[in-house]
Amino acid sequence: MTRPLTVNHALAAIPALGSGLGYRRELKTGIFDNADAIDFLEIVTEHFTDDPADRGELAELCDRFVVIPHGLGLSVGSDRLDADYLASIRRVSDLTASPYYSEHLAVTRAPGIDIGHLSPIWFTDPVLRRAIDNVRRVQDVLNKPLILENVTYPFDIPRAGMRQAEFFTRLVEATGCGVLLDVTNLFINATNHRFDPLAFLHDMPLGHIVQVHLAGGFTHRGVAIDSHSRPVEAGSWELLDTLAALTPIKGSILEHDANYPDMTVLIEQIARARRALATPACRVLAS
């Protein structure tokens, strides 16, 4: 059964952003040439944290687009957050003046180790309490809502105390954070681990979903791969259409990180996502 929508005023205040694109420097010229067809951009935070020249480029993007920073290294499931890292993402977040900050529900660090990968977290009560503390701290530091993304995973961590959707639900209810629902990650996980993606959607805290991601991948030796290198597949589009009929979505981002096609291919997919967000549930945002 679909969970009832709940109202979170911080998330409700986020404006409708439309349909946008993940910013990659290889696409910069095409993005500016097609700016009228792109509603907003999402940047990778770590691409703009070190070099002052990068922050100048970020200012250029912000002059033309609404820009949302999307991080890779927060490691919400870790024992403690890195204070220097938090300070660096605060600088980027402030420069964009974004209405929220997005990251992954994942682990990227262990004591003394940089894993270098978005590793799945263990869905247990102790890890949930740790994630709640970390999310609250991030939101206090950034002074804006944190939006967390579901990630792909090669295997289920055994002896979990709850399912992923329950973990998300309890986390957002305790912290007021939001969800970035990557429908392609869901499609890939459902394909590889043989579960019903529609049941997963209905179990998620729909009222906390703010943004979606879309990307294209491929299958290798029977395993679906989230490569961000090909056009979005039919299964991901179907999940987006279903989700948009269930709950309003503030924004959609198309991710493409390799084998860059002609910009017309990307613009067509951005337009396809925009049409999905124009369904009755999503039109509530414009009223």
Residue 211 belongs to some domain of the structure:
yes
Query: What total of structural domains would you count in the chain?
Result: 1
Residue 184's pLDDT is 97
In DSSP terms, 20 is beta-bridged to: 253
- pTM, whole model, 2 decimals? 0.92
19-78 tens-digit pLDDT: 999 999 999 999 999 999 999 999 999 999 988 778 899 999 999 999 999 999 999 998
What CATH number is attached to the domain comprising 146? Answer: 3.20.20.150
CA of residue 140 relative to chain centroid, distance:
20
Q: What pLDDT is stored for residue 4 in this prediction?
A: 44
Q: What is the mean pLDDT of residues 197-210?
A: 96
Place of tokens 């549930």: 281
In a domain, 51, yes or no: yes
Helical H segments across 79-182, by residue range? 83-96, 125-142, 164-175
Is 133 within the bounds of a domain?
A: yes
218 belongs to a structural domain: yes
Summary count for the chain: helices (H), strands (E): 11, 12
Select the more confidently predicted residue: 135 or 279. 135
Q: Is position 158 within any domain?
A: yes
pLDDT of residue 100: 98
The answer as to whether 176 is a domain residue is no
Grade residue 229 by pLDDT with cuts at 50, 70 and 90: confident
Categorize the per-residue pLDDT at 225 as very low, low, confident or very high, splitting at 50, 70 and 90.
confident
Phi, psi of 2 (to 5 degrees): -65, 135
Domain enclosing residue 83, as ranges: 23-167+183-286
Domain-embedded: residue 173: no
Mean pLDDT confidence for 243-272: 96
**φ, ψ (nearest 5 deg) of residue 224:** -75, 135
How much is the average pLDDT of 171-191?
A: 97
- The answer to the question of residue 198 being in a domain is yes
- Mean pLDDT value across residues 11-26: 96
Residue 280 burial by Cβ neighbours in a 10 Å radius (0-12, 13-18, 19+):
exposed
